[in-house]
Amino acid sequence: MAGPATEDRNPLFADLDLWPTDQAVAAMAREQAAAAAAVEPEAEAIAAAADAAAARLADGSGRLVHVGAGTSGRLAVQDGVELGPTYDWPESRWAFALAGGAEALLTSVEGAEDDEGAGEAAMRGLGLGTADVVIGVAASGRTPFTVAAVRAAAAAGALTVGIAGNAGTPLLAAAAHPILIETGAEVLAGSTRMKAGTAQKIALNLLSTAIMLRLGRIHAGLMVAMRATNRKLRVRAAAMVGEIAGVGAAEAQAALERAAGDIRTAVLLAKGLDQAAAEDALRAADGNLRSALAALPSGSRSL
């Protein structure tokens, strides 16, 4: 049986405004913990969506597209934006469709979520195809903009994923990979920026991380595709090179400089390959460092 709708009123909190602040905050914290726990039952569905998405994106041309409205849309956009610095995911291979446009990232655009035509137009404008992956997020599972966009994406041949908080809703029906995360009624009726938003953030994190895992952008629990764009990250990158290649700090740093900051290439340089051979090895392994290391002559140390 489906749990309470995300918009329902929770009678446990009918007098919330009369509670002492410490009790109100403690209760809200417990509800947030429950939201996190609600994601785990969908681990298999998230994994299946990630495997299917990675298969579509593996050829190097497909795009990852996040779609949503309001809080759901902003969370989705945040997830996509972070893929570039974390996994060196090309900006040209990511897009978003947010009800109300980019303006809605910073302010509420009233009525935008009800515009089905805008959702459809956004997908047409992207010129979607079979190599693309579209992730639609809506706490209610009924947001017209998001549902229309996912339906249009599916019609164009894109792989579709839907994340919603209510069973039997149009978004889940429209998506090839429905992910239902039932967080139930909120502490504040209808305020899905709370429990539902927390669960959506976790699900998006899991999904995108699993996609990048399957695309070879993670090695031994390390972010080997990370863009080292500041001092802290450059130090971290050199440490990764040293750990994986089994070399000292100076050698790791020198390899990283020769590789223009690319961690995976730097590891192979530190293992003795020249620049061209390192690049060829990574290309042959589709960017997967573990596969590239496995192809080195026996006796080479690797993590």
Percent of the chain residues past pLDDT 70, beyond the cut: 97
- CA proximity to 42, closest of 218, 199, 213: 199
Q: What is the pTM of this model?
A: 0.93
Give residue limits of the domains in the chain. 11-214, 231-294
Tokens of 36: 């996190």
**DSSP secondary structure of 113-138:** GG-HHHHHHHHHHHT--TT-EEEEEE
pLDDT tens-digit map of 60-84: 999 999 999 999 999 999 999 999 9
pLDDT of residue 4: 53
pLDDT of residue 110: 82
Per-residue pLDDT band at 303 (split at 50, 70, 90) = low
What top-level class would CATH report for the domain 11-214?
alpha beta
User: Where in the chain does DSSP place strands (E)?
Assistant: 64-68, 94-98, 133-138, 159-164, 177-180
- CA proximity to 41, closest of 211, 180, 214: 180
Mean pLDDT (whole number) for 172-191: 93
pLDDT tens-digit map of 233-271: 999 999 999 999 999 999 999 999 999 999 999 999 999
| Whether 161 contacts 179, CB under 8 Å | yes
- Angstrom CA distances, 182 to 78, 117, 196, 198, stand at 22, 28, 8, 12
SS3 of residue 55 by DSSP: helix
Mean pLDDT (whole number) for 183-194: 88
Per-residue pLDDT band at 301 (split at 50, 70, 90) = very low
pLDDT of residue 284: 95
More confident residue, 299 or 276: 276
Right CATH number for 231-294 from 3.30.460.10, 1.20.1260.10, 1.10.490.10, 1.10.8.1080?
A: 1.10.8.1080
Q: Return the active site residues.
A: 82, 113
